[in-house]
Amino acid sequence: MNFIETRGNDGVKPLEVSFSEAILNPSASFGGLYVPKELPKLEENFIQKHLDKNYKKLAYDILKAFKIDISDDDINNALSLYDNFDDAKNPCPVVKVKEDLFVHEQYHGPTRAFKDMALQPFGSILSSIAKKRDEKYLILAATSGDTGPAALNTFKNKENIKIACMYPDGGTSDVQRLQMVCEDGENQKVIGIKGNFDDAQTALKNLLNSQSFKKELDNDGIKLSAANSVNFGRIIFQIIYHFHSYLELIRQNEIKNHDKIYLVVPSGNFGNVLGAYYAKKMGLPIEKLLVASNENNILTEWINTGVYDIKDKQLILTKSPAMDILKSSNIERVMYDLFGAKRTKELFENLAKDNIFTLTNDEKQLLQSEFSAINSDDSYGAIKIKEFLDNGYLMDPHTATCLKAYENLREKDLKTVIYSTAEWTKFSPTVLNALKQDNTKYNDKEALEEIAHKYNATLPDNIKKLFNSKIIHKTIIDKKDIEEEIVRFIREN
């Protein structure tokens, strides 16, 4: 299967590229993204055939349906990394919390967040391709808190790979920051930026499209790629676990095959929701995709009004920081699928020029036929965290935002899966404030210990040891100095 570009072709880049080319060189014409030329339609009995198969077999068969140009050995080696999750047989459990509500726990990997589900196998495949080609790559990652640790973990000390990770200084939890700045891989650089995640993501996209930066890398024999969800290598693995949600509900005798369900996804950069959208188009029986936002409600406004307007918006720092995003990358892939390349290019040129674009009424209705959206605030999240722990289930603040959609957006009485994208341990002070109904400023270490002791919660060893780890990466710079800092890292290593 070949890949094409969301904003059309510039006459310089190839009209179509292979999967391996799309993930090694994710920068498309006019600043766009790569998407599959067509999505595979899974056979009628696909779900039935996988009821007695494990997650790795499900993943393998979906990857093969895309006809990607990756060898079976490399695919199987990548998928074997799920064996390192908490439960090798079920790396992302689906847990019943109400009669019609289920939590898909995506945080059972090495960095305790959903990014491991995609980045563990993606990193293995990209590294293998680079090694086989005898090419050296710089992998860029921009993070609001979870992509960074997961990317650093998967690419640590991989041959032919260097990785530079940018995070907003002060814009992540302490655990997330420590997971990055304590990494001791010889091929890693972690950079704090004086700014927010949008600044970090904009810097990444600018570097991917910068000819001068690529020339600097060429001088050192290094090519450029990315670990963010601008790279379809991330997205392809984010399609798989939505099928797993559905299979688990059948296995638990909660639905029958072909019954429709709702999926609720907390969203900032829209990659997780995009994976569900693709799964639906491939044949998964989803009634509708429900998008949950925090106070940075740009996605809610876009879906509900058809207007994407950031010209007068300031990013709000919330208690669900992984969703503190105004410039959402993956809405572009949805818009390409719904409206085509010409219209997508026009809309994103408007956004770049005026910080706003507006859909037509017909376009808005088409968007709303696939998605509904709502947002909540920190106080709502705190109420829900306590309410659910009082009933025996401990969740993080991002998961809590999903409950607003569950309560308000469903138009039919259908079973519903919400996505828990991070473990509570990543945001323990916020969780403790919610449980104690106070505003005391706790540090992560004391909050982790109190929740573990008082509420009988499990504290993973790799989280506990962070607080005794040596801080290795201390660089904090202005965003204008990012390119210079990364070039220095390349040449010093």
pLDDT digits 0-9 by tens, 336-363: 999 999 999 999 999 999 999 999 999 9
CA–CA separation, 395 and 260 (whole Å): 26
| E-assigned strand segments in 7-112 | 34-36, 94-98, 101-105
Tell me the per-residue pLDDT of 64-105, one tens digit each, with 9 for 90 and over: 999 999 999 999 999 999 999 999 999 999 999 999 999 999
What does DSSP say about strands 101-105 and 161-168: parallel, antiparallel, or unpaired? unpaired
The pLDDT value given to residue 286: 98
- The per-residue DSSP string of 309-362 comes to E-TT------SSGGG--SS-TTHHHHHHHHH-HHHHHHHHHHHHHHSEEE--HH
* 368: pLDDT strictly greater than 80: yes
Q: What is the pLDDT of residue 493?
A: 67
Measured in degrees and rounded to the nearest 5, phi and psi for residue 164 equal -120, 125
> Hey, where are the domains in the chain?
81-112+233-465
Q: Looking at 90-219, list the stretches that DSSP marks H as alpha helix, in order from N- to C-terminal side.
A: 115-133, 147-155, 174-181, 197-208, 211-219
Interval 3-12 mean pLDDT: 98
Residue 385 in this model has a pLDDT that exceeds 70: yes
137-169: pLDDT as tens digits = 999 999 988 999 999 999 999 999 999 999 999
Q: Say whether pLDDT at 59 is over 80.
A: yes
Amino acid occupying residue 406: Y
Residue 402 in this model has a pLDDT that exceeds 80: yes
- Confidence at residue 491, expressed as pLDDT on a 0 to 100 scale: 87
Residue 447 has pLDDT above 90, yes or no: yes
Q: How far apart are CA 161 and CA 63, in angstroms?
A: 24
Give the tokens for residue 36.
Answer: 């599959």
CATH T-level assignment (fold) for domain 81-112+233-465: Rossmann fold (3.40.50)
pTM of full prediction above 0.85: yes
For residue 492, the model assigns a pLDDT of: 82
| pLDDT tens by residue, 239-260 | 999 999 999 999 999 999 999 9
Average of per-residue pLDDT across 368-393: 98
The whole-angstrom separation of Cα 436 and Cα 418 is 25
| 46 half-sphere exposure, CB direction, 13 A CA radius | 22
Between CA 131 and CA 375 the distance in angstroms is: 44
How open is the CA angle 94-98-100, to the nearest 5 degrees?
A: 80
Alpha-carbon distance of 461 to 467, in angstroms, equals 11
The proportion of the chain whose per-residue pLDDT surpasses 70, expressed as a percent, equals 100
Q: What mean pLDDT value characterizes the chain?
A: 96
Tokens, residue 311: 């010209």
Using the predicted structure, report yes or no on whether residue 213 has a pLDDT greater than 80. Answer: yes
